[in-house]
Amino acid sequence: MEFSELIKTATVESVLLSCAGLPPVRGTLCITSHHLLLSSCPGGDGQPGTMELWLLIRNVDAVEKRVQNLGWYQPPRTNDSPRDTRLAGSSGTITLRCKDLKVLQLEIPGMEECLNIASSIEALSSVDSVMMMYPFFYRPQDLRLEEGWHLFPLEQYFQQIAAQTSQWRLSDLNRDFTTCPTYPADVIVPAAVSDDTLRRAARFRQGGRFPVLSYYHPRNGTVLLRSSQPLTGPNRKRCPEDEVLLGMVLDEGERGFIIDTRSAQAAKQARMTGGGTEPKSSYPQWKRLHRPLERGRPLQESFIKLVEACNDASLSMDRWLSRLESCRWLSHVKAALSTACLAAQCLDREEASVLVHGAEGTDTTLLVTALAQVILDPGCRTVVGFQGLLEREWIEAGHPFHLRCARSAYSHARLKQEAPLFLLFLDCVWQLSRQFPFSLEFGESLLLTLFDNAYASDYGTFLCNNEKERCLCKVKENTHSLWAWLNQPEEKKKYLNPLYSHNPLVIWPSVEPQSIQLWQGLFFRWIRPSQYLDEARAEMQRLVEGNEAPAKESAGSRLSRSLSDPAAWTENER
């Protein structure tokens, strides 16, 4: 396939671009294989125009076209002045609704051009082949291709654990992706369990996702594991190897928790289709807890409804609140945070190891394990640590980004496998950052950038559904890594939280409804005026930067000192 076949009209003059909150500009519209460009007309004195829009076509979620002034289309007798209509000519308006939730309008003179442009954008934005996507063509000057792809090898993460315990080992049994097509080549497993046992256990788990280590809690040596559901089926099949594997995680007399992200009812029903849960009799040391989390279509619909409500300017205050309620997005945020907190609580307070799984183990499972780590592990709250977490718990762990993020909230296309689990994760992290404004090294801007790039990107980081596909497509060889770009000093600076000071403690958020807020920075990014909030942020930055580095340290360390020392507390209360 050639891109040129899809482009029916490449350039149109005198197109009017309008976008909420900005004055409209007129310029020349140009379509390339991957971009929509609009450069404003020079003042007529031969100056080159300035680029006003540079939109990745992959970012377009929905194209809506409206053609006006169809004078010739109507019977002349119903029109009072057919001449005027003809003179005005026909034109069309294309509304582009983007995956990052921004909405653009293009007013295009000439009906045919309008329809051509619209169908070109539609065709180009629905190219589904990974290898045809822009990251395979993007070659920025200042980055090298291989940069950023091997920043977070699992080996390195494993070494941290190995320094504290010899109970775990790094296994490469999945190097050819045959044991589990959605796992990476390397996984961390109990040292006492052989690869052979793992292979048999994998056959007892949906998609071969046998229990592997997700996080080691250094404070007490408990671990967080994840897997997919066991294939117990209607006949209550058992698998001795799977039982051995889970048994090896716990010492004699120790107890662990299995957090199932489905309701007890749904888990039971899954037996009919070959799935199920770990029966108590076969896993006597494990206690099962059910925490139903929404995923799949209901979650996508919740996202769509919320975005619809946010864009509905006609809502009164009353209707706004009920729309917010009925889309249930905040309920999902609350449920996800609570479940992650429960997992963290089991590890840190109950000193028990935890296995998390739902059905496939690629969606809500990863949401819970990743979020629990942000809560527990201060290392995950730095810019680099957070990237490592995403790499380990979302990308390599096989969250199907290509399927889940194919469409965003505006698309009219029939829903297939889209679901905003990653967005839900980012929202939960934002809630944490709001409740603990000093404890995350990065600010809202990083979360927004990650959201944008998960849905449409210049970089290959979020391409494909799993490591196997990435190998086949040679993503790491032929695209740039998002991390390489983000970690350039100039770029990284934009994402830092000026108030950050290292907080070694677990951050337990409140999950009461009063504490959960709608993430305005994302859902209203293109709607609300942010000038005053940006000014406040700049002012904050100014205050903190004005403070000399040593002084800042003393303020930060004093903050953490005051909490570990109750005596200091009462003294300060005087």
Partner 1 sequence: MEHIRMPKVENVRLLDRVSSRKAALGTLYLTATHVIFVENASETRKETWVLHSQISSIEKQATTATGCPLLIRCKNFQVIQLIIPQERDCHDVYISLIRLARPVRYEELYCFSFNPKLDKEEREQGWKLVDLNEEYNRMGIPNDYWQISDVNRDYGVCDSYPTEVYVPKSATAHIIVGSSKFRSRRRFPALSYYCKDNNASICRSSQPLSGFSARCLEDEQMLQAIRKANPGSDFLYVVDTRPKLNAMANRAAGKGYENEDNYSNIKFQFIGIENIHVMRNSLQKMLEVCELKSPSMSDFLWGLENSGWLKHIKAIMDAGIFIAKVLIEKDWISFGHKFNHRYGNLDGDPKEISPVIDQFIECVWQLMEQFPCAFEFNERFLIHIQHHIYSCQFGNFLCNSQKERRELKIQERTYSLWAHLWKNRADYLNPLYRSNHSQTQGTLYPQMAPCNFLYKFWSGMYNRFEKGLHPRQSVTDYLMAVKEETQQLEEELEVLGERLANLQKMQLNDNKIQSKQQDRSKQLGLSASTNSLANTPQEYSSDLKSFPSRSPSQGDEDSALILTQDNLKSSDPDLSANSDQESGVEDLSCRSPSGGGCLPSEDSGKDSDEAVCLAV
* Ranges within 311-350 binding partner 1 (CB under 8 A): 313-318, 320-322, 324-325, 328, 330-331, 333-334, 338-339, 341-342, 344-345, 348-350
Nearest distance, CB of residue 55 and partner 1, angstroms: 25
173 near partner 1 (CB under 8 A): no
74 near partner 1 (CB under 8 A): no
Length reported for the chain: 574
- Binding span for partner 1 by CB under 8 A among 218-226, 391-399, 486-494, 534-542: 534-542
Do the beta carbons of residue 102 and residue 52 sit within 8 Å?
Answer: no
22 near partner 1 (CB under 8 A): no
558 near partner 1 (CB under 8 A): yes
- Count other Cβ atoms within 10 Å, centred on residue 105: 16
20 near partner 1 (CB under 8 A): no
Nearest distance, CB of residue 223 and partner 1, angstroms: 16
60 near partner 1 (CB under 8 A): no
Residues 239 to 258 in contact with partner 1, rule: CB under 8 A: 255
- Binding span for partner 1 by CB under 8 A among 37-45, 142-150, 450-458, 528-536: 528-536
Find all residues with CB under 8 Å of 490, minimum gap 6, and list them. Answer: none
If the CB atoms of residues 169 and 268 are measured against partner 1, the closer one turns out to be 268
- Binding span for partner 1 by CB under 8 A among 157-165, 173-181, 470-478, 542-550: 542-550
73 near partner 1 (CB under 8 A): no
Compute CA distances 470 → 150, 263, 369, 465, 476, whole Å. 14, 33, 23, 8, 7
566 near partner 1 (CB under 8 A): yes
If the CB atoms of residues 27 and 509 are measured against partner 1, the closer one turns out to be 509
Question: Could you give the residue ranges of the DSSP H alpha helices within 26-97?
Answer: 82-88
219 near partner 1 (CB under 8 A): no
If the CB atoms of residues 478 and 554 are measured against partner 1, the closer one turns out to be 554
If the CB atoms of residues 86 and 542 are measured against partner 1, the closer one turns out to be 542
Nearest distance, CB of residue 63 and partner 1, angstroms: 25
Nearest distance, CB of residue 191 and partner 1, angstroms: 25
Nearest distance, CB of residue 537 and partner 1, angstroms: 9
Number of H helices, E strands in the chain: 23, 14
If the CB atoms of residues 114 and 342 are measured against partner 1, the closer one turns out to be 342
Q: Report the Cα 258 to chain-centroid distance in Å.
A: 25
Nearest distance, CB of residue 231 and partner 1, angstroms: 26
Nearest distance, CB of residue 215 and partner 1, angstroms: 17
Residues 417 to 436 in contact with partner 1, rule: CB under 8 A: 434-436
Question: Would you give the DSSP letter of residue 78?
Answer: G
Find all residues with CB under 8 Å of 425, minimum gap 6, and list them. Answer: 336, 366, 367, 370, 371, 394
Nearest distance, CB of residue 409 and partner 1, angstroms: 16
Residues 340 to 399 in contact with partner 1, rule: CB under 8 A: 341-342, 344-345, 348-352
- Binding span for partner 1 by CB under 8 A among 59-67, 75-83, 174-182, 310-318: 310-318
50 near partner 1 (CB under 8 A): no
Nearest distance, CB of residue 362 and partner 1, angstroms: 24
553 near partner 1 (CB under 8 A): no
Question: Could you give the residue ranges of the DSSP H alpha helices within 3-81?
Answer: 3-6
If the CB atoms of residues 334 and 404 are measured against partner 1, the closer one turns out to be 334
- Report the distance separating Cα 108 and Cα 210, nearest Å: 55
If the CB atoms of residues 146 and 571 are measured against partner 1, the closer one turns out to be 571
Compute CA distances 427 → 204, 235, 244, 497, 566, whole Å. 34, 40, 37, 17, 34
If the CB atoms of residues 12 and 224 are measured against partner 1, the closer one turns out to be 224
Q: Which amino acid is at 80?
A: D
- Count other Cβ atoms within 10 Å, centred on residue 78: 7
Residues 482 to 521 in contact with partner 1, rule: CB under 8 A: 499, 503, 505-508, 510-518, 520
- Both tokens of residue 514? 């009063």
Residue 512 region by backbone torsions, left for phi larger than 0, else alpha for psi between -120 and 50, else beta: beta
Coil vs helix vs strand at 35: strand
- Both tokens of residue 363? 């969606």
What is the biggest distance separating any 2 CA atoms in the chain, rounded to whole angstroms? 92
If the CB atoms of residues 81 and 531 are measured against partner 1, the closer one turns out to be 531
Nearest distance, CB of residue 103 and partner 1, angstroms: 14
Residue 274 region by backbone torsions, left for phi larger than 0, else alpha for psi between -120 and 50, else beta: left
- Report the distance separating Cα 12 and Cα 113, nearest Å: 7
If the CB atoms of residues 80 and 532 are measured against partner 1, the closer one turns out to be 532
Per-residue x/- mask for partner 1, residues 260 to 289, rule CB under 8 A?
---------------------------x-x
Instruction: Strands of 267-363 (E only): list them.
Output: 286-290, 353-357
Coil vs helix vs strand at 67: strand
- As beta bridge partners, residue 478 has none
Instruction: Give phi and psi for 43, each to the nearest 5.
Output: -65, 5
- Report the distance separating Cα 191 and Cα 483, nearest Å: 32
If the CB atoms of residues 5 and 318 are measured against partner 1, the closer one turns out to be 318
Q: Which of 437, 474, 477, 478 binds partner 1 (CB under 8 A)?
A: 437
Residue with tokens 């070109």: 120
Nearest distance, CB of residue 493 and partner 1, angstroms: 19
Coil vs helix vs strand at 89: coil
Binding-residue total with partner 1 (CB under 8 A): 84
Q: Which amino acid is at 161?
A: I
194 near partner 1 (CB under 8 A): no
**Angle at the Cα of 437 from the Cα atoms of 569 and 368, rounded to 5 degrees:** 110
